[in-house]
């Protein structure tokens, strides 16, 4: 049952005691614990894993790790589904489900492949050239084209997984757990520095896991195991595996995504992935190198694979990635791969080397293994339908052009090596500028800008010995730079490797094989985006010069792999087409993330209600018990209204509002911002932040105040009470409360540090409630002690303290609704107790709680402004509050009031509006027009149904509004399709004389 036809019986770093069952494209397969999806599919002989982006050509596994351009799969189901997952980095587990992308109806037979027949119509930039013209038509083409040229699908359900973020600090961060990284961690760790070693793989070892190299003492992996044991014993060292450093940010901060439970079910409370914000004093980048591709005819057929990848499948996973292989290289490293493949049971028939004179030591090893060496030659094209069947080989001339009639060698595996690109991504993200080194024909890290250094293959070191020595030196230097005394690290010195003479001969920098004639075939530079050498040449012919522009026009190096295997090949071709050299072309910018990161991981816990947690007032539970319909108001949950059985929301709001106007009601106002100001200069401070006068305010009196921004626009309003000679209690609007607190502290500590006062934000400390209505005094008098609430003792805008049920309360005779009303503040913990006392005492007066809709109705009727009017564009004068401005003295915003724009008589001013028919509701947000000019004159800011007038009313801002009372306009809402004739009038609909307030 568990047959894996391409798996060897022995060898590899897999656990044959633990079989794993998984599903790919609806079929069940077996693999072993330790496999990736790619290795398990290859073991099962699955060669076609996806279809290409543009031409829908069949594609197979090409790489071994993060560089993979082809084997992208849709992983998982439902809300857990993740597109564009690299099969080369997915560890398989029981129950894994994955699917090919970008194919229909199936990966082996894909109708979209017909686009290949029309590929002449799909050159570089074809979107811009063909389909976007005429612009109107693009709307029709866009959908089908985007569906054809696609990657994976987004999950269509919310992600049920947990993600978390963690901050950590260390002295030395080592990125990459290959030989150089391990040596760096050993050297830095010995010094006592806090070291964090981060590797993207499931286990340490890096390329050693794939190459199976030897040291003088034995297998290099034994050394890795010993080093890991030693590192784990160090208390100052942390190892993160399955953790990819995706971003190098300012201030030496690394962004790391750790795949905690992608390879197994998460333990209870464990996240799927964890993002680390690692703050490192020094960073060692031992990120290794990526092998490059070579462009030749049909080089995208399944079975064409990087030499290092084929070697890795053979050594690490005991998988034969093919039966018969041909190697094609421009450098030394494919020789070791050929020998390892041969050893693992793949029949390696030939090694084609672009170099005319390959190193003799390597040539003799091939000869000993019975592999034919074909020097000075190139693979001109691969042949086969859906997979490689053979490769055509030709000798090449000095310029790399094939000569003569090619010879065909049958094979089902074609391993290519175009040399290596150091992974300079993080160095470049840290603003380092990579420098081209012609010796290895690759970009090396340049001068570091941040506190980082590269080591090993990441800076072009080729041999294992050189990588270990380089890593140890970098680790020691980093620890020293972080201020630590160096100590010897014996394991580093023991890692001796005898020089075998390889890696000395330079590569031949050719990455493109173009025959003089013959059948036209596509030569792919970028496999993921289906970019051919012709596309690049076309872009250059059309005038694109900058590598960044060519990238965007051709899509070279875009997508999920960001050109890890293709960029140098592409840049070399741009350079050739421009007639310059690659150093002058440069690289495109390296930006985070190094590999795609799930948005869920970046969001972490800050999703849903954790993004903006709800705030609840002290009386929240009481509201729920009373049947309140709770409304989200900014972060707060507030009662919208208290529904009685059979009532609609409108009916409840009307009942509550009428109840206040005719009797008594109780509303929760705990959400108002509350600040206490103490100090001899507190009154001077108020003079400077409010537009009105404060010195004259007597103790035990409240005053309404308006604050401006420095540009003269109203910032906030509220009441402030003089509780003691040098002690004030300020309330702010609910919405602006945090901003007012922040702004006032700025004024105090930055603008006027010489003023002697303190400001304390006590919003959370006090529960607030307003008892309002003609009967409110009678109710209050029944429960309050030690306070005379008669109008003589506690007049309008008066203040006093008393007790209710033995609890101290602050009582302010303030009214937002326009009726006789008292704001009562109690320590938050006693809020519900006080509220219940008031409800009990009010029972015989028919007291009812009211919500913010009724509160809004009452204040609109009274003409008090709130958020709808205070929209960040109005001045005090616009609101009819200009007379509050004190005649002299500076305050925030005063200087700006003389700006002509703020004095324009045509400014929008606050007005009240009624429907002409006294019946039709005014549409919220409607524009005010006069039916003659084509400009609108103002807009509706608040609407309500007036319980006193018993008709719909509205507040609005209207150009020159105060001089237009009596005019007939239209409130028009094209959105709602409604146009209502309205009459302009005063914004105060009830009690303009304020009799109710002073009752």
Partner 1 sequence: MLIPCPHCGQRPHSEFTYGGDATLRRPSDPALAADEEWLDYLYLRDNPRGLHREFWHHTLGCERWIEVRRDTLTHRIEGASATGARRGTRT
Q: Which residues bind partner 1 (CB under 8 A)?
A: 167, 249-251, 253, 277, 279, 449-450, 710-711, 741-742, 745-746, 748-751, 753-754, 756, 758, 761, 890, 894-896
Q: Which residues contact 843 (CB under 8 A, 6 or more apart)?
A: none
Q: Are residues 851 and 665 in contact, defined by beta-carbon separation less than 8 angstroms?
A: no
Cα torsion 266, 11, 328, 498: sign: positive
Select 249 or 945, whichever has its Cβ closest to partner 1. Answer: 249
Q: Which residues contact 694 (CB under 8 A, 6 or more apart)?
A: 683, 686, 687, 703, 705, 720
Q: C-alpha angle 531/308/344, rounded to 5°?
A: 130
Angle between helices 547-554 and 533-541 in degrees, nearest 10: 120
Number of other CB atoms surrounding residue 138 within 10 Å = 14
Question: Rg (Cα) of the chain, in Å, rounded?
Answer: 38
Enumerate the β-bridge partners of residue 502.
Answer: none
- Least Cα distance to 31 among 5, 63, 64, 49 occurs for 5
Residue 549's φ and ψ, nearest 5 degrees, are: -70, -40
Residue 750 DSSP one-character state:
I
Q: Which residues contact 217 (CB under 8 A, 6 or more apart)?
A: 223, 494, 496
Residue located via tokens 């029944």: 782
Cα 108 off chain centre by: 36
User: Which helix (DSSP H) or strand (DSSP E) does residue 21 occupy?
Assistant: strand 15-24
CB environment 870-905: b (16+ within 10 A), e (fewer): beeebbbbbbbbeebbeeeeebbbbebbeeeebeee
Residue located via tokens 């612009």: 135
The CA distance from 805 to 672, in Å, is 24
The CA distance from 108 to 113, in Å, is 10
- The least distance separating partner 1 from the CB of residue 446, rounded to whole angstroms, comes to 16
The pairing of strands 758-761 and 727-732 is unpaired
Enumerate the β-bridge partners of residue 984.
Answer: 913
Q: Are residues 46 and 55 in contact, defined by beta-carbon separation less than 8 angstroms?
A: no
Using DSSP, how many helices (H) and how many strands (E) does the chain show? 25, 50
Q: Quote the longest CA-to-CA distance of the chain.
A: 115
Select 898 or 933, whichever has its Cβ closest to partner 1. Answer: 898
Helices (DSSP H) in 897-941: which residue ranges? 900-903
Helices (DSSP H) in 608-668: which residue ranges? 620-625, 649-662
The pairing of strands 163-175 and 273-285 is parallel
- Long-range pairs for 27-31 at CB < 8 Å and ≥24 separation? 30/1, 30/2, 30/3, 30/4, 31/4, 31/92
The CA distance from 229 to 223, in Å, is 10
- Least Cα distance to 429 among 198, 258, 240, 587 occurs for 587
In 3-state terms, what secondary structure has residue 238? Answer: strand
The CA distance from 394 to 405, in Å, is 7
The CA distance from 159 to 573, in Å, is 42
Q: Are residues 428 and 587 in contact, defined by beta-carbon separation less than 8 angstroms?
A: yes
Q: What is the three-state SS of 557-625?
A: CCCCCCCCCCHHHHHHHHHHHHCCCHHHHCCCCCCCCCCCCCHHHHHCCCCHHHCCCCECCCCHHHHHH
- The least distance separating partner 1 from the CB of residue 196, rounded to whole angstroms, comes to 16
In 3-state terms, what secondary structure has residue 285? Answer: strand
Number of other CB atoms surrounding residue 782 within 10 Å = 16
């Amino acid at each position: 049952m568990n047959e894996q036809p391409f798996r060897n019986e022995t060898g590899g770093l897999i656990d044959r005691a633990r079989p794993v069952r998984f599903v790919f494209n609806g079929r069940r397969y077996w693999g072993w614990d330790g496999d990736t999806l790619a290795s398990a599919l290859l073991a099962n002989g699955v060669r076609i894993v996806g279809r290409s982006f543009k031409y829908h050509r069949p594609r197979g596994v090409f790489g071994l790790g993060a560089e993979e351009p082809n084997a992208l799969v849709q992983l998982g189901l439902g809300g857990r589904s993740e597109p564009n997952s690299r099969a080369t980095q997915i560890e398989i587990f029981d129950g894994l489900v994955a699917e090919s992308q970008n194919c229909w109806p199936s990966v082996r037979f894909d109708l979209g492949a017909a686009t290949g027949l029309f590929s002449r119509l799909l050159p570089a930039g074809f979107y811009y050239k063909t389909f976007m013209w005429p612009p109107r038509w693009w709307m029709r083409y866009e959908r089908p084209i985007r569906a054809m040229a696609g990657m994976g699908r987004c999950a269509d359900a919310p992600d049920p997984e947990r993600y978390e973020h963690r901050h950590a600090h260390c002295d030395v961060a080592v990125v990459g757990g290959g030989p150089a990284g391990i040596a760096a961690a050993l050297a830095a760790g010995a010094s006592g520095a806090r070291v964090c070693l981060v590797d993207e793989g499931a286990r340490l070892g890096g390329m050693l896991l794939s190459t199976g190299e030897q040291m003088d003492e034995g297998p290099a992996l034994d050394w890795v195991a010993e080093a890991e044991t030693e590192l784990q014993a160090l208390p100052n060292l942390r190892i993160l595996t399955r953790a990819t450093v995706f971003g190098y940010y300012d201030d030496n901060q690394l962004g790391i995504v750790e795949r905690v439970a992608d390879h197994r079910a998460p333990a209870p409370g464990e996240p799927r992935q964890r993002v680390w914000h690692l703050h490192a004093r020094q960073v060692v980048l031992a990120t290794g190198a990526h092998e490059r591709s070579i462009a030749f005819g049909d080089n995208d057929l399944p079975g064409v694979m990087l030499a290092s990848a084929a070697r890795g499948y053979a050594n690490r996973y005991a998988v034969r990635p093919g039966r018969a292989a041909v190697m094609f290289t421009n450098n030394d490293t494919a020789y070791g791969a050929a020998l390892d493949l041969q050893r693992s049971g793949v029949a390696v028939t030939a090694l084609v080397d672009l170099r005319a004179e390959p190193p003799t030591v390597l040539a003799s090893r091939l000869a000993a293994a019975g592999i034919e060496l074909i020097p000075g030659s190139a693979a001109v094209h691969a042949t086969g339908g859906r997979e490689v069947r053979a490769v055509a080989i030709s000798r090449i001339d000095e310029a790399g052009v094939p000569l003569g009639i090619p010879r065909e060698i049958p094979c089902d595996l074609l391993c290519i090596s175009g040399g290596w690109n150091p992974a300079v991504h993080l160095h470049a993200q840290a603003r380092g500028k990579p420098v081209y080194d012609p010796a290895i024909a690759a970009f090396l890290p340049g001068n570091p800008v941040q506190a980082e250094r590269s080591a090993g293959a990441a800076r072009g070191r080729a041999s294992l010995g050189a990588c270990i020595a380089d890593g140890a030196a970098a680790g020691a230097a980093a620890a020293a730079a972080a201020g630590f005394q160096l100590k010897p690290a014996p394991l580093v010195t023991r890692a001796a490797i005898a020089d075998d003479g390889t890696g000395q001969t330079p590569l031949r920098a050719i990455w493109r094989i173009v025959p003089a004639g013959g059948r036209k075939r596509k030569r792919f530079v970028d496999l993921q985006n289906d970019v051919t050498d012709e596309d690049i040449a076309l872009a250059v012919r059309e005038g694109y010069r900058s590598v960044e522009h060519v990238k965007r026009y051709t899509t070279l190096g875009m997508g999920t792999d960001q050109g890890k295997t293709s960029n140098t090949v592409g840049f070399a071709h741009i350079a050739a087409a421009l007639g310059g050299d690659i150093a002058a072309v440069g690289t495109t910018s390296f930006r985070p993330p190094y590999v795609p990161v799930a948005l869920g991981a970046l969001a972490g816990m800050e999703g849903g209600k954790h993004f903006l947690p709800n705030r609840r007032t002290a009386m929240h539970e009481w509201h729920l018990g009373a049947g309140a319909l709770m409304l989200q108001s900014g972060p707060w949950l507030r009662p919208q209204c208290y529904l009685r059985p059979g009532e609609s929301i409108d009916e409840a709001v009307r009942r509550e509002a009428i109840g206040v106007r005719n009797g008594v009601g109780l509303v929760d106002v705990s959400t108002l911002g509350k600040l206490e100001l103490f100090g001899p200069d507190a009154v001077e401070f108020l003079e400077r932040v409010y537009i009105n006068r404060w010195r004259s305010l007597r103790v035990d009196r409240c005053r309404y105040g308006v604050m401006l921004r420095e540009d003269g626009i109203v910032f906030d309003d509220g009441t402030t009470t003089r509780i003691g000679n040098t002690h004030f209690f300020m309330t702010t609007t609910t919405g602006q409360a945090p901003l007012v607190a922040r702004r006032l502290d700025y004024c105090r500590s930055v603008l006027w540090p010489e003023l002697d006062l303190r400001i304390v934000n006590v919003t959370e400390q006090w529960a607030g409630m307003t008892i309002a209505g003609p009967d409110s005094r009678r109710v209050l008098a029944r429960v309050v002690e030690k306070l005379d609430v008669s109008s003589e003792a506690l007049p309008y805008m008066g203040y006093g303290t008393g007790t209710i049920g033995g609890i101290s309360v602050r009582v302010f005779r303030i009214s937002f609704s326009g009726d006789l009303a008292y704001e009562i503040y109690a320590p938050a913990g006693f809020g519900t107790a006080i509220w219940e006392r008031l409800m009990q005492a009010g029972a015989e007066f028919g007291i009812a709680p009211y919500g913010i809709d009724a509160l809004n109705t009452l204040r609109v009727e009274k003409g008090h402004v709130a958020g709808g009017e205070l929209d960040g564009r109005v001045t005090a004068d616009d609101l009819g509050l200009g007379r509050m401005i004190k005649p002299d003295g500076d305050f925030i915003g005063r200087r700006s009031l003389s700006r002509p724009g703020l004095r324009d008589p045509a400014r929008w001013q606050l007005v009240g509006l009624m429907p002409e028919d006294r019946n039709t509701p005014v549409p919220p947000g409607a524009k005010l027009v006069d039916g003659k000019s084509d400009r609108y004159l103002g807009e509706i800011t608040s609407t309500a149904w007036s319980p006193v007038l018993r008709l719909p009313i509205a507040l609005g801002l209207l150009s020159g509004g105060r001089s237009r009372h009596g005019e007939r306009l239209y409130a028009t809402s094209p959105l709602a399709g409604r146009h209502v004739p309205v009459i302009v009038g005063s914004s105060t609909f009830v009690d303009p004389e304020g009799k109710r307030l002073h009752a």
